[in-house]
């Protein structure tokens, strides 16, 4: 059974700092990996989608990398801002597992002024 | 509407009561998903529809949970004889394509509290 772990569970940083969020998964036979953002009381917003054949994806200040063989992904946030404060979730779609996503428990990020 | 719409946003149910949660996906989206998110946890898959066909219901925790999408658009998740452990946020999501290789859009969720 695929298990997804995110470290750290919570993170507090000063504004302007670059930071890295980590995601690991136990089954490397994945179709793709996604990073989502969840604001309190809200649904999830897809940030980046990395196909299994890709190594990284970039969108603005966000960069996500994928190392499928080691079962790891990182989300890099450059020059963090208070508006980046949210919970960040990674999710994998397992090859042959249908269309469902398996989520980690998330990293709660707070960017302070 | 522009996004995935869910109703009710908040529901308090007495233990043993039946509840129905509604999801309006983005117009034209083929795929529809239901997830359950307990406090402090990531979402857990419940079920998946492709148009009106329920292709995967492996995540439904018990036979008290039932989902339908009879006309391939609006979906309803029904929970019978609610228990306290059913308290969670129920998230609906949709995507245009048959696979999740495309962007998936989530609603804001229906917050269920069973007392």
Write the DSSP string, B88-99. EEEEEEEESSSS
Average pLDDT, chain B: 93
Task: Find the residue in A nearest to B6 (Cα).
Answer: A43
Tokens (6 digits) for A62: 């966000």
Task: Find the residue in B nearest to A6 (Cα).
Answer: B42
Q: What percent of chain B has pLDDT over 70?
A: 95
- In tens, the pLDDT along A13-47 reads 999 999 999 999 999 999 999 999 999 888 899 99
- In tens, the pLDDT along B77-111 reads 999 999 999 999 999 999 987 655 668 899 999 99
Residue A108: name the closest of A20, A10, A1 by CA. Answer: A10
* Cα–Cα distance measured from residue A99 to residue B33, given in angstroms and rounded to the nearest whole number: 9
The phi-psi region of residue B90 (left if phi > 0; otherwise alpha if psi is between -120 and 50; otherwise beta) is beta
Give counts: helices (H), strands (E), chain A.
Answer: 0, 11
Tokens (6 digits) for B39: 């406090």
Among B25, B43, B108, B110, most A C-beta atoms within 10 A, so best to mutate, is: B43
Contact B99 A99 (CB under 8 A): yes
3-class secondary-structure state, position A17: coil
What pLDDT does residue A99 have? 81
Size of interface A-B (CB pairs under 8 A): 67
Going by their DSSP bridges, the two strands B10-13 and B110-114 should be labelled as: parallel
């Amino acid at each position: 059974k695929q298990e997804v772990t995110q470290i750290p569970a919570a993170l507090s940083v000063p504004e302007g700092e670059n930071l890295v969020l980590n995601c690991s998964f136990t089954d490397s036979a994945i179709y793709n990996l996604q990073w989502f953002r969840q604001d309190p009381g809200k649904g999830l917003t897809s940030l980046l989608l990395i196909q299994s054949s890709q190594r990284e994806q970039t969108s603005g200040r966000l960069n996500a990398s994928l190392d499928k063989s080691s079962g790891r992904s990182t989300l890099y946030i450059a020059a963090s801002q208070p508006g980046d404060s949210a919970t960040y979730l990674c999710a994998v779609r397992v090859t042959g597992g249908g269309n469902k996503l398996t989520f980690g428990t998330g990293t709660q990020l707070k960017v302070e002024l | 509407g522009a996004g995935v719409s869910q109703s009710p946003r908040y529901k308090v149910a007495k233990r043993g009561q039946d509840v129905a949660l509604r999801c309006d996906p983005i117009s034209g989206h083929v795929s529809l998903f239901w997830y359950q998110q307990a406090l402090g946890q990531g979402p857990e898959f419940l079920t998946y529809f492709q148009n009106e066909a329920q292709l995967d219901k492996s995540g439904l925790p018990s036979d008290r949970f039932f989902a339908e999408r009879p006309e391939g658009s609006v979906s309803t998740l029904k929970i019978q004889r609610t228990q306290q452990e059913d308290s969670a946020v129920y998230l609906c999501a949709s995507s245009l394509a048959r696979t999740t290789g495309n962007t998936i859009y989530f609603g804001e969720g229906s917050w269920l509290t069973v007392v």
